Amino acid sequence: MPTARRAAFAALAAAAAAPAAARILAAPARAADWRPDRPVRLVVPFAPGGNTDLVARVIGPRMSERLGQPVVVENRAGAAGSVAAAQVARARPDGLTLMIGSNGPMAINPITRTDLGYEPLRDFAPLGLVVRTPLALAVHRDLPARDVAALIAHAKASPGRVVFGSPGVASTGHLTLEMFNAATGAGITHAPYQSGGALTPDLVAGTVAGAFVEVATVLPLHREGAVRILAVTAGRRLRVAPELPTVEEAGVPGFRAASFVGVVAPAGVPGEAMAALHAALAAAVRDPEVRRRLEEMGSEMAGEEEASPAGFAAFLQRETEWTRLAAERAGLRRPQ
């Protein structure tokens, strides 16, 4: 993204984040003054087993230790996360209901869907970003491209014939592919699947030439030789696979993309409860065992600023604008 546009988005993010941050900071932030008197629900807006679910189950027990009550992970799938998000947005703002906030319900759905029943930046109070999970640019083992530059050249030499799959239209993998095409002119064709589980076997079989998929999904396949990871969409090389270059290192300046996972509460939770909940989340994220497990999944831990309520609010605004650009590039329009 050009420097001027990045600067404009940064200013917009700061302006948008200011009201949310002000609400959090204006209320008494005495974490020691508030403790839940019942178990806290941590709603995951997807089925069990995915990245968001795994993150919730790693941080939940550590949050429970700090809060003195169980943190119960509750999976509530439907409409790409929108069903759970709408329900949590309407939940009583007493600090006893939280939600895992990720790309779908927090950034993608508001751009591509109507009648959500919620507005992320209005109806949720961010607690903090936990991790980013970069994507791997993975290709079939027989594709005649050993690096990103060769992939771009190969795609340009065969216009429209190089096909990448994704877990579905408007998925993070799809939007990342569209931004890659925009940045490089590669002209790779998109083939949507119904899920990541349906895509992976076809990537291994060579039905599709490649895909942008979460690192944890394809790293074992890469090490087995079933697929080849050309690069990762992270800001720096991953601790779990330091041998893999970033897309930026491979010659596409400024190119980054990731699934993200944070925690949000319904808007209106009192300041002392927000402070206690954030303190519990921060303690969980600082725990060495939690960090080790999340990094082994191919995730990058959030920095101190983005792990704060105000920092996560600003992050969500930036992510929404990135998603809007990618959706426009993909020709996706929110129905009127």
Cα 200 to Cα 140, 168, 211, 251, distances in angstroms: 11, 12, 9, 26
pLDDT score for 14: 43
Q: Is 50 exceeded by the pLDDT of residue 9?
A: no
134-232 placed in CATH 3.40.190.10: yes
Q: Which two tokens stand for residue 215?
A: 């690192």
Taking residues 293-303, report their average pLDDT: 90
Q: Is 80 exceeded by the pLDDT of residue 12?
A: no
With H, G, I as helix, E, B as strand and everything else as coil, classify residue 81.
helix
For the chain, first and last CA: distance in Å?
28
The conformation of residue 246, written as its DSSP 8-state character, comes to B
Q: Which two tokens stand for residue 20?
A: 């949310």
Categorise residue 129: left if φ over 0, alpha if ψ from -120 to 50, beta otherwise: beta
Domains 3-132+259-329 and 134-232 share a fold: yes
* Residue 25: its H or E element: helix 3-26
φ/ψ of residue 261, rounded to 5? -135, 125
The residue ranges of every structural domain in the chain are 3-132+259-329, 134-232
pLDDT score for 116: 86
Residue type, 174: H
The pLDDT tens digits for 78-94 are 888 999 999 999 999 99
Q: Is 90 exceeded by the pLDDT of residue 317?
A: yes
What whole-number distance in Å separates Cα of residue 26 and Cα of residue 211? 45
Q: Where are the alpha helices (DSSP H) in 225-270?
A: none
**If you search the block for the tokens 């600090």, which residue do you land on?**
95
pLDDT score for 98: 98
Query: Residues of the chain with pLDDT > 90: what percent?
Result: 73
Q: Which residues contact 284 (CB under 8 A, 6 or more apart)?
A: 59, 62, 63, 66, 290
Q: Which residue has the higher pLDDT, 27 or 259?
A: 259
pLDDT score for 56: 97
For 153-179, b where at least 16 C-beta lie within 10 A, e where not — what string?
A: ebbeeeeeebebbbbbebbbbbbbbbb
Q: Where are the alpha helices (DSSP H) in 27-143?
A: 51-67, 82-89, 103, 109-112, 120-123
Average pLDDT, the chain: 89
Q: Is 70 exceeded by the pLDDT of residue 171?
A: yes
Name the CATH code of domain 3-132+259-329 (choices 3.30.70.580, 1.20.950.20, 3.40.190.150, 1.10.1060.10): 3.40.190.150
The pLDDT tens digits for 175-228 are 999 999 999 999 999 999 988 888 999 999 999 999 999 888 899 999 999 999
**If you search the block for the tokens 């119904």, which residue do you land on?**
194
pLDDT score for 333: 65
Q: Is 60 exceeded by the pLDDT of residue 286?
A: yes
pLDDT score for 329: 85
What whole-number distance in Å separates Cα of residue 30 and Cα of residue 27? 9
pTM: 0.82
What whole-number distance in Å separates Cα of residue 89 and Cα of residue 110? 14
Please say whether the beta carbons of 289 and 324 come within 8 A. Answer: no
Question: How many CB atoms are closer than 10 A to CB 122?
Answer: 10
pLDDT score for 32: 64
Please say whether the beta carbons of 155 and 129 come within 8 A. Answer: no
